[in-house]
Structure 1
Amino acid sequence: MDLQDKRVIDSRCSRHMTENMSYLTDYEEIDGGYVAFGGNPKGGKITGKGTIKTGNLDFENVYFVRELKFNLFSVSQMCDKKNSVLFNDTECIVLSPNFKLIDESQVLLRVPRKNNMYSVDLKNIVPKGGLTCLFAKATSDESKLWHRRLGHLNFKTINKLVKGNLVRGLPSKLFENDQTYVACQKGKQHRASCKSKTENSISLPLHLLHMDLFGPTFVKILKKKMYYLVVTDDYSRFTWVFFLATKDETSGILKSFITGIENLVDHKVKVIRCDNGTEFKNREMNQFCEMKGILRQFSVARTPQQNGVAERRNRTLIEAARTMLADSKLPTTFWAEAVNTACYVQNRVLVVKPHNKTSYELFHGRTPTLSFMRPFGCPVTILNTIDHLGKFDGKVDEGFFVGYSLNSKAFRVFNSRTRIVEENLHIRFSESSGPDWLFDIDALTRTMNYKPIVVCKQSNGFAGTKASDNAGQAKKETEPVKYYILLPL
């Protein structure tokens, strides 16, 4: 009697049914045949249908059966409207069509729908590892045979074809790989993945330093350097760059850097991560790290992914330097100044995700200032405070901005008159315009003391005839003289 005015949600019921006509709206009489229940194939006559409205969810095509003792809602009919129905130990939940299953591993049993009902076939259920699988388990020989028939397809994809009923002719069984196929390993084996950590376990600066050496480059800088060393702090991602003429300078630079930075920050370097290059694995570095108690971690040969922090920062610096050189139209000989400027800027602007702070703030404990920054390569005028100038001589030299000083409050500029990079504070910037090209070819040849070579074209007359000789002589006199300048590579 308590259930007569309530609705029972039944997964074995093929259609919504009620015995109370007052609940139905948009009612119409139909001859829908009979409903079987209680073992009687003609348990009730379907004489009409209508709609039951509940607000958020409306039940359409609800059959009116006068002989019913309960009001039934069909799960399959609710799923026809793309809804999902969830049963648990306290309630039944009808979900919207937008509901998506987040984790497939939480599915313990899948029961197919047939004839508007969800029926479990107990013959095909095989328990496995605490989970329940709907499909019978294939034998080892059968799994191996179908694996070879399908072109050594992986077993996960084969089972997906079976569960999704995506093909015909494949047995509805669970295929498992119970052995390792040597042929599959020969054809498919690949490098092991190097997954990055989701959370950083380093909580202090200088605890772990990532290092990588780039070079040699095809173009030497003004100071004949061909390599540059990138050192990145794991906690703050603060980066330092050092330029070298040869790889042998690496050990001395690292020893001086580690000693100075430990004194500056009052923290100790504990771990160094680098590759297997001889610049990092040598007697001098071995003795220094042993004396300081520094642990060294080397990446596996030909596996740069294990030193990913340094490799990615190296790539970021090169891309930024290449872009600044292209924008400033300076020659490639200034690549070191561009890399140094890119490192200086990125330390103050790149945000470290876990902390949502810049590298500069994490390492130095204060927010950086950006108001003094200028475009790389922009023209500048440099106040000449060194030479003794006459009353009417110009007070400034022209040049180009190429970076920031790391040891003083000054800018690094290239002086076009002296042809050197100097640090100066008395500078005026012209940010609105850039150079067309750095060098004036006439001024360059004069400073290098090159003399022009005069070359004249010879005539094409035939030798041995006087007429041709006269013609060739006339042609030589009328052709203009061309000048060539020889420059060293």
Structure 2
Amino acid sequence: MDLQDQGVIDSGCSRHMTGNMSYLTDYEEIDGGYVAFGGNPKGGKITGKGTIKTGNLDFENVYFVRELKFNLFSVSQMCDKKNSVLFNDTECIVLSPNFKLIDESQVLLRVPRKNNMYSVDLKNIVPKGGLTCLFAKATSDESKLWHRRLGHLNFKTMNKLVKGNLVRGLPSKLFENDQTCVACQKGKQHRASCKSKTENSISLPLHLLHMDLFGLTFVKSLKKKMYCLVVTDDYSRFTWVFFLATKDETSGILKSFIIGIENLVDHKVKVIRCDNGTEFKNREMNQFCEMKGILRQFSVARTPQQNGVAERRNRTLIEAARTMLADSKLPTTF
């Protein structure tokens, strides 16, 4: 009977409720359904709501339940107004919305709010030394947010930061990986490697020629040559290097080279593999290759094939540079 005239601060109560209409001001009748509470398994009917004024703090939207013998004040409903509620061994303190926690290290346990109640998940027990600390389980959105904020840090390390209180502002919660970070999934993907052949598919010289043109060089030769054309036979790895003043000379040099080398070796050039540069892909070269029946294969930018051509070209640069300084008038062979 003494509790009928007292208000109980209840963290397990979802809404303010009273069974005494005399405490309510601004009362209005509503059809709020039914509410269940201890001591009365049938519960009670919500027939109205009003305000209980206490001076500095007013309790608004207090439900009137005639069958209720207590006056219950919901902690979650007070927090909805941005107030903080503090319990200690002697009293309960309702703090203003301006209250800020000075030191996060003083927080020993954080319990999340769910369904207007604050409940501890006893399954999430994290041992620390000889003590047992309880951490609230972070929601999926919180885990994703802090995972991105910390530079996509793995979740095991994130929980170590929480236990050691090593990051200011990091919530004291247990973070779990739900495997939904697209950036991490793509970052761990591996590109399939191109396996090298154990046997060469080319059986004759001049069957396949690799060629590339590089320039402008930083230093001109004595004959003002600034470009270098490298041609490599796929079967023998024999390499020819030609020095050019301009790119326009490429088509003429290649035509003369192919005709001459075919007569010298008594084999036909069947395939030319190069990039999509205009020095290889033009009307003059198109007509010449069509007349000779030469198939051309153009590599795509940044592919293993083109990278392989570049590697073979780079291996000849040092020797080509030496010959370029000598400014030989005839094509140099290696």
Give the TM-score normalised by the residue count of structure 2: 0.43
Which moves more between the two structures, 240-249 or 215-224?
Answer: 240-249
Residues 219 and 127 from structure 1, CA distance in 2 versus in 1: closer, same or farther, beyond 3 angstroms? Answer: same
3-state DSSP class of the match of 1:186? helix
CA contact (8 A) 1:211 1:310 kept: no
How far does residue 129 in structure 1 lie from its aligned partner after superposition? 3.7
3-state DSSP class of the match of 2:211? strand
Distance 2:61 2:199 in 1: 54
3-state DSSP class of the match of 1:248? helix
Residues 317 and 64 from structure 1, CA distance in 2 versus in 1: closer, same or farther, beyond 3 angstroms? Answer: farther
How far does residue 127 in structure 1 lie from its aligned partner after superposition? 3.5
What's the % identity of the aligned pairs? 97
Cross-structure match for 2:38:
38
CA contact (8 A) 1:194 1:306 kept: no
Cross-structure match for 1:255:
255
Deviations 1:75-99 (A, max 9, x none): 0000000000000000000000000
Distance 1:207 1:4 in 2: 103
Deviations 1:40-72 (A, max 9, x none): 563111110000111100000000011111110
Residues 268 and 29 from structure 1, CA distance in 2 versus in 1: closer, same or farther, beyond 3 angstroms? Answer: farther
3-state DSSP class of the match of 2:310? helix
Q: Which runs of 5+ in 2 are unaligned?
A: none
Higher relative contact order (CA 8 A, sep 6+): 2
How far does residue 121 in structure 1 lie from its aligned partner after superposition? 1.1
How far does residue 128 in structure 1 lie from its aligned partner after superposition? 1.9
Distance 1:72 1:187 in 2: 53
How far does residue 2 in structure 1 lie from its aligned partner after superposition? 1.3
Residues 143 and 323 from structure 1, CA distance in 2 versus in 1: closer, same or farther, beyond 3 angstroms? Answer: farther
Residues 177 and 212 from structure 1, CA distance in 2 versus in 1: closer, same or farther, beyond 3 angstroms? Answer: farther
CA contact (8 A) 1:126 1:132 kept: yes
Deviations 1:98-136 (A, max 9, x none): 000011111111110000000111111223246654449
CA contact (8 A) 2:208 2:269 kept: yes
Give the TM-score normalised by the residue count of structure 1: 0.30
Distance 2:114 2:126 in 1: 21
> How many residues align structurally?
334
Distance 1:98 1:258 in 2: 86
How do 1:75-474 and structure 2 match up within 5 A? 75-129=75-129, 133-135=133-135, 153=153, 158-159=158-159, 174=174
Which moves more between the two structures, 149-158 or 289-298?
Answer: 289-298
CA contact (8 A) 1:219 1:332 kept: no
Residues 152 and 96 from structure 1, CA distance in 2 versus in 1: closer, same or farther, beyond 3 angstroms? Answer: closer
How far does residue 179 in structure 1 lie from its aligned partner after superposition? 24
CA contact (8 A) 2:207 2:234 kept: yes
CA contact (8 A) 1:275 1:307 kept: no
Distance 1:195 1:86 in 2: 67
3-state DSSP class of the match of 1:132? strand
CA contact (8 A) 1:304 1:311 kept: no
Distance 1:250 1:171 in 2: 67
How far does residue 5 in structure 1 lie from its aligned partner after superposition? 0.3
CA contact (8 A) 2:121 2:136 kept: no
Residues 331 and 213 from structure 1, CA distance in 2 versus in 1: closer, same or farther, beyond 3 angstroms? Answer: closer
Deviations 1:207-240 (A, max 9, x none): 9999999999999999999999999999999999
Deviations 1:168-209 (A, max 9, x none): 999998579999999999999999999999999999999999
Residues 221 and 173 from structure 1, CA distance in 2 versus in 1: closer, same or farther, beyond 3 angstroms? Answer: same
CA contact (8 A) 1:85 1:92 kept: yes
Residues 45 and 155 from structure 1, CA distance in 2 versus in 1: closer, same or farther, beyond 3 angstroms? Answer: closer
Distance 2:103 2:91 in 1: 22
3-state DSSP class of the match of 1:300? coil
Which moves more between the two structures, 130-139 or 90-99?
Answer: 130-139
How far does residue 155 in structure 1 lie from its aligned partner after superposition? 7.1
Cross-structure match for 1:397:
none
Deviations 1:388-425 (A, max 9, x none): xxxxxxxxxxxxxxxxxxxxxxxxxxxxxxxxxxxxxx
How far does residue 16 in structure 1 lie from its aligned partner after superposition? 0.5
Which moves more between the two structures, 140-149 or 65-74?
Answer: 140-149
CA contact (8 A) 2:111 2:136 kept: no
Cross-structure match for 2:7:
7
Which moves more between the two structures, 137-146 or 196-205?
Answer: 196-205
CA contact (8 A) 1:208 1:234 kept: yes
Which moves more between the two structures, 98-107 or 242-251?
Answer: 242-251
Distance 1:89 1:196 in 2: 75
Deviations 1:411-467 (A, max 9, x none): xxxxxxxxxxxxxxxxxxxxxxxxxxxxxxxxxxxxxxxxxxxxxxxxxxxxxxxxx
CA contact (8 A) 1:52 1:60 kept: yes
Deviations 1:232-273 (A, max 9, x none): 999999999999999999999999999999999999999999
Residues 47 and 151 from structure 1, CA distance in 2 versus in 1: closer, same or farther, beyond 3 angstroms? Answer: closer
3-state DSSP class of the match of 1:330? coil
Residues 156 and 28 from structure 1, CA distance in 2 versus in 1: closer, same or farther, beyond 3 angstroms? Answer: same
Residues 182 and 239 from structure 1, CA distance in 2 versus in 1: closer, same or farther, beyond 3 angstroms? Answer: same
CA contact (8 A) 1:14 1:74 kept: yes
Residues 172 and 57 from structure 1, CA distance in 2 versus in 1: closer, same or farther, beyond 3 angstroms? Answer: closer
Distance 2:13 2:235 in 1: 61
